[in-house]
Amino acid sequence: MLNIQPVPSNDRAPEGGRNPVAAFDADLIEFVRVNRSAAERRVATLPGRRTVKKQWQAAWLVKAVQCIDLTTLAGDDTPGRVHRLCAKARQPVRQDLLEAMGIGDRRITTGAVCVYHAMIGAAVEALKGTSIPVAAVSTGFPTGLTPLDLRIKEVEASVAAGAREIDIVLNRSNVLTGNYRAVYDEVRAFREACGAAHLKTIIGAGDLGTLTNVAKASVACMMAGADFIKTSTGKEAVNATLPFALVMVRMIRFWRELTGFKVGFKPAGGISVAKDVMNYQFVMKEELGTDWLQPNLFRVGASSLLTDIERQLDHYVSGRYSSAHRHPMG
């Protein structure tokens, strides 16, 4: 069994306490099962059960902005593009809209800026003087199939370059062949290479075949010390979905009840409109509570999403939908 003492469910882990590395427990992973039809029925009813309008919708969307990992992961990325992205991360919503909503004095920023290793320096420079962290995708992104020693060195190099968060990607073949010891070992090695930087583990849910595999991979990653579990790279044929989210956040809840430690969740890929991100927020609220609506425990990997959120906020303020080109693109 785990070498972490479970705590009563009504007790809180130390504020800011980081999910530690636990001993590998094959029996615990084998214990995990998912009822696919029940999970799909649960999320299918979500739009009918949860909706918010007017000022409440605006408040949820402002919170969503603060949880975005504003991302550029393109082959033609340049320092100039990254500087522009970072400027948007510093001021993601137009000041006139914030003033009209009565929150003009608040420092609203995105949760992080996410880039390839080669662009870390440009991002760190552009975000100087802010508390916005730079997140770097690493470990042979997006396939995770480069040699393990090179992936570990890549993590170390990204941390040394100034990344405060590392988004690693699993070698999905280990999940598909049921080799959860290998999943645990590589994530544990990445956690050690991260040092103080937070580790977000991309399980590649769309490539894993079944929801049970998604659940087992999530537990193995948390067991190995992951600070966040993340659905996708954004490059898979199927990326973030509500069934994936439901299964993963329930594994987070299971882990919290077992150990007392909180792990964050990050859906990524295909989340481009405001109503979609709110559905993920509703899942977090229903399954984990309000603590998991904050950027230290909830992130969304996105870029174009920010433009749609800003358009929705503009509509709330003015009563009219503005054209997308009136809003600086994330």
pLDDT tens column, 142-153: 999 999 999 999
Peptide bond into 295 cis (omega under 30): no
Confidence of residue 323 (pLDDT cuts 50, 70, 90): confident
Residues with active-site annotation: 167, 230, 266
Residue 301 per-residue DSSP state: E
Q: Is the pLDDT of residue 15 over 70?
A: no
Strands 112-115 and 264-266: unpaired
Q: Tell me what the pLDDT averaged over the chain comes to.
A: 92
Q: How many helices (H) and strands (E) does the chain have?
A: 14, 8
Cβ atoms 221, 255 nearer than 8 A: no
> What pLDDT is stored for residue 329 in this prediction?
59
Report angle CA 285, 291, 292 to the nearest 5 degrees. 55
- Alpha-carbon distance of 196 to 117, in angstroms, equals 17
Strands 112-115 and 134-137: parallel
Task: Please write the tens of the pLDDT for every residue from 243-254.
Answer: 999 999 999 999
Catalogue all structural domains in the chain, each as residue range(s) with its CATH number: 26-326 (3.20.20.70)
> What pLDDT is stored for residue 328 in this prediction?
62
Reading the block at residue 116, the tokens are 């390839």
Task: Please write the tens of the pLDDT for every residue from 29-77.
Answer: 999 999 999 999 999 988 777 788 899 999 999 999 999 999 999 999 9
Q: What percent of the chain has pLDDT over 70?
A: 93
Token match 């537990």: residue? 219
Q: Is the pLDDT of residue 236 over 70?
A: yes
